[in-house]
Chains A and B, each alone.
Chain A
């Protein structure tokens, strides 16, 4: 069985279960089936990079994954869009992670690990996602976007985290003329609560039945 087929086969049972509802055990199994023979390849020089102190919810491997994903998904150099250096994308992702329920967070952690490590065999890259060059990483995302339901889900959810983390920042809005919040800026007055309806004719006396 080709490596990509091995990964797909390992994921097939997962695709019949809840989105991201795989356990860490299942994750390990998926990785084990697909990449166990090449475990030495799973090391990355980036693993030595320290996790920024400001991040409270991302693990180091997730930090590395999202850092690389941000670079790949938002190639903003040469555009008028706000540079990713000026937008706290990873900080925002970290905060969004903190809002997930414990069970979903656990499932997502497993899924992110699968996405990173499956690149060792998926596409014959022989290295983790975080070590793919830009063209390889784009191709990897695109392949997963057309893969099985779990692959599509993971590619989509990683993109969503990065996109939302970037575009939620007000610094990104002027470039596209997005207005953001306007009521305060426009000085709109509140209308308050709507006056009570005039029900005098309909009010029943206490104890009166309809």
Chain B
């Protein structure tokens, strides 16, 4: 069967767009409804519906371009979110929540559904630190990404996504303790900003927001893009970007059924291709397409903010699963010269508690979990170096990432700082997030216990929510993949718009940086619309 679908003409007025706006849910074409050969046409095809793809989709659709968004993951309406973390891992995350580096000691958690990681993140909303942007200017020639020039983009996305500083009612017990500890130590501690409206304080951010308070792409840019005329397909895996004579002109994609067999082959013709599949899938797609890699940098420079969850036992009940998931952060050591890490106070549930540390085998573990309500946690985020690599080998993705020795020192420093905060706040015991059973019983023991750790595989229990850097942006085509405008150096009309652009890790949660860069890239595309779009599809 051949379907010749024509993407509908985009609507070019706010009034008209509003009339197509759905108050709830998304009008998604689900891949399971497609069969045989499907041919589609659009001005712009966007691969991925996460933070980057959704923003670009809306910004281009509202300006009259026909936009098609292809998402590899399923569409899961928010009312179907379970608020059960293990079920969420299995249904909303990449590889059913089991995506790891090759050594298996770094769990890389990414959303794999319509809306991408914005659906399952903790809502922490940071602008890119000024010193990071300046570093990018100096080392990568990104003169257009100065703090001043990025400011309007930050302001725009923050306004759209209701980014506000946590109110006192959003500082849960676990965050109150971290703030108390930091204050006692004289360290800088601040309320986090989050993209959320009227937070219901369920603590289930990582399982998706069942009542649509989190301002993820699912309830913001995607419905806005669709109301502006964009189309969204779920369950569609793009396997190749098409290009002719150095000019991108579409994508090849497929839909597989439950048995893994291809049930639909999709070919999209487009004037422009935007790859926004995230810092792991985007480089894989470029590698499989054999495009944009004259620099040999596609897939290299992977960084991920490897984080540790440092749990501690307190004498009083904390119920770490209650209240807003993240409340405050400690930025005392944020500047690289002061350590290059931040600490975020965060909650967690029963399943997460049993994964973050090794209390001992048998009875010690049972004792540990019996006291679950007494634990509180602090998450460490470090400014890691871009030492990893994403590649496609033997038909599978491969994530190479081992902590650099200097990053291991940063991890230990962050871990020690988190332990100090806990003890300053009155903790009785700190559990080291390692594979061997290590506990710290007082501040005086911190250095001695941490000296047991060494930089080797399967020592620390690391989790990354922030993969980045694998199609890095830069002025020099010899050592970067994408230009400052977001277009690949090697291929005209091929843009990248996700965290793979980051030339270095940014220490803080990356969602706002992605939104802002995607907004800027949309502007760059629109500034060249006469060059790209000879006619409006319609």
Cβ contacts A184-210/B at 8 Å (1 or 0 each): 101011111111111110011111011
CA A160 to CA B202, docked complex, whole Å: 25
Q: How distant is A189 from chain B, measured CB to nearest CB, in Å? A: 7
By the criterion CB–CB under 8 Å, are B457 and A149 in contact?
Answer: yes
In the assembled complex, A86 has its CB within 8 A of some CB on chain B:
no
Known: A19-B100, A145-B435, A153-B458. A203 touches B14 (CB 8 A): yes
Binds B, one of A26-34, A125-133, A166-174: A166-174
CA A146 to CA B358, docked complex, whole Å: 11
In the assembled complex, A48 has its CB within 8 A of some CB on chain B:
no
By the criterion CB–CB under 8 Å, are A152 and B458 in contact?
Answer: yes
Cβ contacts B111-124/A at 8 Å (1 or 0 each): 00000000000000
By the criterion CB–CB under 8 Å, are B369 and A72 in contact?
Answer: no
A167 touches which of B82, B98, B102, B350 (Cβ 8 Å):
B350
Chain B contacts for A194, CB-based, 8 A: 162, 197, 215, 219-220, 223
Chain B contacts for A134, CB-based, 8 A: 362
CA A194 to CA B203, docked complex, whole Å: 21
Q: How distant is B75 from chain A, measured CB to nearest CB, in Å? A: 14
Q: Is the interface of A mostly helix, strand, loop or mixed?
A: loop
Known: A191-B213, A199-B62. A81 touches B102 (CB 8 A): no
| Residues of A19-53 contacting chain B, CB below 8 A | 19-21
Chain B contacts for A210, CB-based, 8 A: 523, 526-527, 529
Known: A138-B362, A188-B200, A203-B62. A167 touches B351 (CB 8 A): yes
CA A73 to CA B13, docked complex, whole Å: 62
Chain B contacts for A167, CB-based, 8 A: 350-351, 353-354, 369
A75 touches which of B223, B354, B363 (Cβ 8 Å):
B363
Cβ contacts B225-268/A at 8 Å (1 or 0 each): 00100000000000000000000000000000000000000000
Chain A contacts for B102, CB-based, 8 A: 17-19, 21
In the assembled complex, B84 has its CB within 8 A of some CB on chain A:
yes
Chain B contacts for A198, CB-based, 8 A: 14
By the criterion CB–CB under 8 Å, are A156 and B197 in contact?
Answer: no
Known: A75-B363, A172-B350. A101 touches B95 (CB 8 A): yes
In the assembled complex, B147 has its CB within 8 A of some CB on chain A:
no
Interface size on B, as a range, is 35 or more
| Residues of A141-182 contacting chain B, CB below 8 A | 141-142, 145-146, 149-150, 152-153, 155-157, 159-160, 163-164, 167-168, 172-173, 175-182
CA A164 to CA B372, docked complex, whole Å: 15
Chain B contacts for A149, CB-based, 8 A: 103, 456-458
In the assembled complex, B331 has its CB within 8 A of some CB on chain A:
no
In the assembled complex, B198 has its CB within 8 A of some CB on chain A:
yes
B86 touches which of A100, A168, A209 (Cβ 8 Å):
A168
By the criterion CB–CB under 8 Å, are A81 and B220 in contact?
Answer: no
Nearest neighbor of A19 in chain B, beta-carbon distance: B104
Known: A168-B84, A181-B204, A193-B223. A206 touches B536 (CB 8 A): yes
Binds A, one of B20-28, B48-56, B131-139: B20-28
CA A47 to CA B126, docked complex, whole Å: 56
Chain A contacts for B441, CB-based, 8 A: none
In the assembled complex, B18 has its CB within 8 A of some CB on chain A:
yes
Chain A contacts for B407, CB-based, 8 A: none
CA A21 to CA B227, docked complex, whole Å: 46
In the assembled complex, A15 has its CB within 8 A of some CB on chain B:
yes
By the criterion CB–CB under 8 Å, are B220 and A193 in contact?
Answer: yes
In the assembled complex, B349 has its CB within 8 A of some CB on chain A:
yes
Known: A173-B350, A188-B200, A190-B212. A164 touches B355 (CB 8 A): yes
Chain B contacts for A55, CB-based, 8 A: none
Nearest neighbor of A135 in chain B, beta-carbon distance: B362
Residue count of chain A within 8 Å CB distance of chain B: 72
In the assembled complex, B478 has its CB within 8 A of some CB on chain A:
no
By the criterion CB–CB under 8 Å, are B365 and A73 in contact?
Answer: yes
By the criterion CB–CB under 8 Å, are A183 and B14 in contact?
Answer: no
Chain B contacts for A100, CB-based, 8 A: 96, 98
A192 touches which of B23, B458, B526 (Cβ 8 Å):
B23
Q: Counting chain B CB atoms within 10 Å of each CB, which of A96, A160, A190 scores highest?
A: A190
Q: How distant is B262 from chain A, measured CB to nearest CB, in Å? A: 17
By the criterion CB–CB under 8 Å, are A186 and B96 in contact?
Answer: no
In the assembled complex, B477 has its CB within 8 A of some CB on chain A:
no
Q: How distant is B397 from chain A, measured CB to nearest CB, in Å? A: 10
By the criterion CB–CB under 8 Å, are B530 and A152 in contact?
Answer: no
By the criterion CB–CB under 8 Å, are A160 and B355 in contact?
Answer: yes
In the assembled complex, B396 has its CB within 8 A of some CB on chain A:
yes
Cβ contacts A5-23/B at 8 Å (1 or 0 each): 0000000000101111100
In the assembled complex, A87 has its CB within 8 A of some CB on chain B:
no
Chain A contacts for B456, CB-based, 8 A: 149
In the assembled complex, A103 has its CB within 8 A of some CB on chain B:
yes
In the assembled complex, B169 has its CB within 8 A of some CB on chain A:
no
| Residues of A92-150 contacting chain B, CB below 8 A | 96, 99-101, 103-104, 134, 138, 141-142, 145-146, 149-150
By the criterion CB–CB under 8 Å, are A196 and B104 in contact?
Answer: no
Known: A160-B355, A191-B198. A76 touches B366 (CB 8 A): yes
CA A142 to CA B18, docked complex, whole Å: 61
CA A203 to CA B212, docked complex, whole Å: 27
Nearest neighbor of A183 in chain B, beta-carbon distance: B210
CA A179 to CA B456, docked complex, whole Å: 37
Nearest neighbor of A143 in chain B, beta-carbon distance: B361
Q: How distant is A168 from chain B, measured CB to nearest CB, in Å? A: 4
Chain A contacts for B219, CB-based, 8 A: 191-194
Q: How distant is B199 from chain A, measured CB to nearest CB, in Å? A: 11
Known: A149-B457, A196-B17. A73 touches B83 (CB 8 A): no
In the assembled complex, B190 has its CB within 8 A of some CB on chain A:
no
By the criterion CB–CB under 8 Å, are A192 and B212 in contact?
Answer: yes
In the assembled complex, B3 has its CB within 8 A of some CB on chain A:
no
Q: Counting chain A CB atoms within 10 Å of each CB, which of B83, B197, B227 scores highest?
A: B83
By the criterion CB–CB under 8 Å, are A183 and B84 in contact?
Answer: no
By the criterion CB–CB under 8 Å, are B435 and A156 in contact?
Answer: yes
Nearest neighbor of B260 in chain A, beta-carbon distance: A102
Known: A152-B436, A163-B355, A168-B86. A142 touches B361 (CB 8 A): yes
Q: List 11 A-B contacts (CB under 8 A).
A: A72-B362, A79-B366, A134-B362, A157-B104, A160-B355, A163-B351, A176-B373, A191-B219, A194-B162, A199-B62, A207-B536
Beyond A178-B373, A203-B63, 14 additional pairs, beta carbon < 8 A? A19-B103, A75-B366, A138-B362, A145-B358, A150-B458, A156-B458, A183-B200, A190-B24, A190-B78, A191-B211, A192-B219, A197-B160, A200-B14, A209-B529
Which 8 A-B pairs give the minimum distances between C-beta atoms? A19-B104, A181-B83, A18-B102, A192-B24, A152-B458, A163-B354, A176-B372, A149-B457
